[in-house]
Amino acid sequence: MNHNNRSFPIERQGEITSKFIQEKYGKSKQFRWIKGRMIIPAGYVAYEYPKYKRREVNKYARKYSDIENCISYEVMKYMMENAHLYPTLEMADNALSRYISQRGKCAVTHNALTVSDMVCQHIKPCKGERNDTYKNLILLSKEVSKLVGATKTTVIGKILADLPLTEEMQNKINKLRKHRELEEIQFENYIGTKK
């Protein structure tokens, strides 16, 4: 008897035509058919938690922005309002995009960037033609920026005294210096570096 006032009755027996449905739901006794079409039992649907995803990070938790992001809306507003300070509009736009993609942190030290302590630099310096593309820009803190461009050992020593760096950070700095065709820094010769 049809209790749902449907034009076609709900049947308890029929044929499962899909291999996928047979594998996932084939053991269920809750299957129904309407006019030969299968109705998958909602009560038999199971789900798994995504693997390798931290449970505390989701779009509803406030923790996400506190843990991962250091993006400051004041810095973003400043960058948007002062686009005229950059040599080209493309560089201003890409610097803002880079700030967001770096989550408001220095690319080397991963410390939060502020308006007064932020420098947008080219990874590969412009020789002749400007290259202000997103891929060629990086945001650094002022100290790291000075260290990347420093050539005198006294200046390097002074900066490293206040800026302890891990081995990973040292490698990033030397990689940036290599793009500028500067000599790699031998960090072992300076005090204040971490192993």
Per the model's pLDDT, the better-predicted residue between 185 and 59 turns out to be 185
Position 123 confidence tier, pLDDT thresholds 50, 70, 90: very high
* Contact of 159 with 149, CB cutoff 8 Å: no
**For residues 47 and 87, which has the higher predicted lDDT (pLDDT)?**
87
- Under the banding of pLDDT at 50, 70 and 90, the label for residue 57 is low
Distance CA 180, CA 183 (A): 9
Find the mean pLDDT for residues 125-138.
89
Say which amino acid occupies 184: E
| C-beta of residue 140 within 8 angstroms of C-beta of residue 175 | no
How many other CB atoms are found less than 10 A from the CB of residue 69?
Answer: 13
Q: Bigger pLDDT: 58 or 110?
A: 110
pLDDT at position 134 over 90:
yes
How much is the pLDDT for 61? 55
- Burial of 171-189, coded b for 16+ CB within 10 Å and e otherwise, reads ebbbebbeeeeeeebebee
Residue 70 to residue 144: CA distance in whole angstroms: 18
Give the separation between CA 14 and CA 18, rounded to whole angstroms. 12
14/139: higher pLDDT: 139
Buried b (16+ CB within 10 A) or exposed e, 100-121: eebebbbbbbeebbeeeebbbb
For position 94, what pLDDT does the model report? 94
* pLDDT surpasses 80 at 69: no
Cβ–Cβ under 8 Å, residues 109 and 165: yes
Proportion of the chain above pLDDT 70, given as a percent: 85
Beta-carbon-side half-sphere exposure of residue 96 (alpha carbons within 13 Å): 19
1 has a pLDDT exceeding 80: no
pLDDT at residue number 64: 47
Give pLDDT, residue 91.
Answer: 93
- Report the pLDDT value the prediction gives residue 56, as an integer from 0 to 100: 60
